[in-house]
A = this chain, B = another copy of it.
Amino acid sequence: MNGADLLCETLLANDIDTCFANPGTSEMHFVAALDRQPRMRCVLGLSEGVVTGAADGYARMAGKPAATLLHLGPGLANGIANLHNARRAASPIVNVVGDHATYHLALDAPLTSDIDSLARPVSQWLGRAEQADQVGAQTARAVAAARQRPGHVSTLILHADAAWNETSAPVPAPVAPDAPTVPDDARIRAAAQVLKSGRNVTLIVSGAALMAGPLDRLARIAAATGARLMAQQSNARMQRGRGRPDIDRVPYPIDPALATFADTEHVILIGAREPVAFFAYPGKPGRLLPEGCEVLTLTQDGDDLAAAIDALAQETGADGATLPDQPAGPPLDLPTGALTPEAIFVAAARHLPENAVICDESVSSGRESFRYTHAAAPHDFLQLTGGAIGIGMPMATGAAIACPDRKVVSLQADGSGMYTVQALWTQAREALDVVTVIFANRRYQILHGELRNVGANAPGENARRMLDLDDPALNWVSIANGMGVEAARAETPQQFDDLLAAACKRRGPFLIEAMI
C-alpha cells in the first residue's frame, strides 16, 4: 500500500465515498489508488469551481463530507470561490490538494506556488501530508476537523512523494462522530424571558434550525409568544413548501433590510449571525439592527440546535401551542403576456414534484420568488451563502449526486451561470436528474441596481459594456447542447409552463432558457 492508497482507505473508513475531482500530474498516484478502489465514486468537473461547488451541494444534502481532488495551487485557486461559499454554508468538505514532491519544491518549478497562503482564507483546518506514513493520521485529522459542528472545510495538501511512497502504517480507526454539546440552560431561560417580556422580539434562525422539525417548533414558539420568526438572509438549506411554516428572510437590499428591524427591540439568534449589510453604502449603517437593540445568542457553534429549540419551546410553554393558520399563498394561475420571473416562479410552484431540491442562484430575478416557491410541494431550498457567484449549477450537481431519487431544480441567473457553465457537462456525464432554468435577462441586473444606488446616472458606454451581456446574446440552448444537455427555449409563460411540466416528469438533465 502506498500513501495514496492509505488516503483512499482512510476516507472510505470514515464513510467518505464520493470524490469530486480534477486531477493533474502530481496527483496521478492518487488517481491510480482511486482506480484500485471501486467503492469510491469519482466525479469529474471540467473546471475546479464545479468540483468545489458540487462538494458543497453534496455536503448540504448528504449531511456528510465528500472529498475533492485538486491540482496544486492554481487548481485550488480555481475552486476557492466555491470553497468560500462552502465555508459560509458550514458545509463539511475534505479538500485534497496535490503538491509537488517535498524535495521538488525548492526548485521552484513552473507550477510551484504558496498553497498554504491560497488555502488559509477558506480552510478552517489546513495540513500537509509530507510522508506516506503520515497520510492516514493527517487524513483522520482532516476528517475530524471537517465534521466539527456545524461543519468545516479541511484542506489536506498531499505531496506527490507522500502519495507514491510505500507505507506499512495502518488505516486509522474511524473518527468518532462529533457529538453535539449540550446547550446552556441559562441562555435558554434568558431567551424565554426575552420572549415573554412583551418587547418587540425577532428570532433570526439559520443552520439546522431551518430543518422541518425544528422550524415547526420555532413557529409554535413565535405563535405562542408573539415574536417574529425570520431566516437569515442566506442559508445553506431550508425545508419549505406547502404545509410548512412560511417564514421570510432578512432582505438583501439595504433599505428594506434596515426597515425590517426599525422597531425591533431584541433579537434572538438561533444558528444565525447578527444581520449586517451585504455591502457598505455611503452614509448608511453596516449593522442592520437599530441602536439599542439587544442581541441574545441562543447556542454556541457545537451545540445541539434542535435540542436547544425543544428546550426553548418547553420553557416558553409553546409545546402545545397550535400553529396559526398559514396565510393563503399567492394565486398560481399562469400569467399571460411576456415571460417574467414571476411567471417562472408560478410555474415552478405548480409543477415542482414532492421532495424536490431547489438550488437557487436566480439573484435579482429571484427577489420576489419566495412566496411562490413556498406554495410549491415540500422541498429543500439551497442558496448562495457567501456571495461568490457561480455556485448554482455546481451545487445542483452535487445535490443530485447526494440525492439520486429526488428531482433537483436549479434556478440560475445567466451572468452567474456563465461562471461555472462547465457543470452542465458533469450533469450530462452522470445522467443527473437536474432541471436548470436560466433567467436570461442578458445583463448583470443586480449591478444595474447597484450602479443606481451609488448615485450614478443612466449607464454610459463603458458601464454598459461591463454590465450587459446582450452583445452578443448568449444562446443557452446551444451551450447546453454542446455539453450534452438537452435544452429548449421559452418565450412565453405558457411555453415555460409546458417545458417545466414535461421536464419535471422525465428523468435526466434538461435546461430551459427562459427569455425574460
On A, residues with C-beta under 8 Å from B are 21-26, 28-29, 31-32, 34-38, 40, 42-44, 46-47, 49, 69, 73-75, 77-78, 80-81, 84, 88, 100-101, 103-104, 107-111, 113-114, 117-118, 120-122, 160-161, 164, 234, 276-280, 282, 286-287, 385-388, 390, 415, 418-422, 425, 428-429, 446-447, 450-451, 453-454, 456, 459-463, 465-467, 469, 471-484
Contacts and interface: CB of A to CB of B under 8 A. Distances in A.
A454 B23 contact: no
Given A29-B454, A161-B282, A474-B483, 14 more contacts: A31-B456, A31-B466, A35-B460, A47-B418, A73-B121, A77-B77, A104-B279, A104-B286, A109-B387, A110-B278, A421-B422, A425-B474, A429-B472, A472-B483
Contacts of A388: 74-75, 77, 111
Contacts of A474: 425, 482-484
Contacts of A38: 460-462
Contacts of A465: 42-44, 429
A34 B469 CA distance: 18
A37 B482 contact: no
A49 B422 CA distance: 14
A428 B478 CA distance: 15
A31 B463 CA distance: 6
Contact of A100 (B280, B450, B454): B280
Contacts of A479: 478-479, 482-483
A425 B472 CA distance: 7
A117 B35 CA distance: 35
B279 A26 contact: yes
A502 to B, nearest CB: 21
Contacts of A420: 47
A450 B277 contact: no
A419 B47 contact: yes
Given A35-B459, A113-B121, A419-B46, A77 B88 contact: no
Nearest to A104: B280
A21 B466 contact: yes
A177 B29 CA distance: 48
B278 A111 contact: yes
Best-buried of A109, A390, A456 by chain B (most CB within 10 Å): A109
Contact of A113 (B29, B109, B122, B473): B122
Nearest to A388: B74
A101 B280 contact: yes
A244 B107 CA distance: 32
B478 A28 contact: no
A104 B280 CA distance: 6
Contacts of A482: 474-482
A88 to B, nearest CB: 6
A75 B77 CA distance: 11
Contacts of A419: 46-47, 78, 422
Contacts of A28: 447, 450-451, 453-454, 456
A46 B110 contact: no
B282 A164 contact: yes
A37 B21 CA distance: 44
A78 B104 contact: no
Contacts of A460: 35-36, 38
Contact of A118 (B44, B118, B387, B450): B118
B23 A447 contact: yes
A418 B287 CA distance: 41
B466 A42 contact: yes
A103 B286 contact: yes
Nearest to A468: B44
A450 B28 CA distance: 7
A479 B428 CA distance: 15
A441 to B, nearest CB: 14
A276 B111 contact: no
A286 B78 contact: no
28 contacts: A26-B279, A28-B450, A28-B456, A31-B447, A31-B463, A31-B466, A34-B462, A37-B462, A42-B466, A46-B415, A46-B418, A47-B420, A74-B80, A77-B77, A78-B81, A78-B419, A107-B277, A107-B286, A109-B278, A111-B386, A114-B121, A117-B118, A117-B121, A418-B422, A429-B472, A474-B482, A478-B479, A479-B483
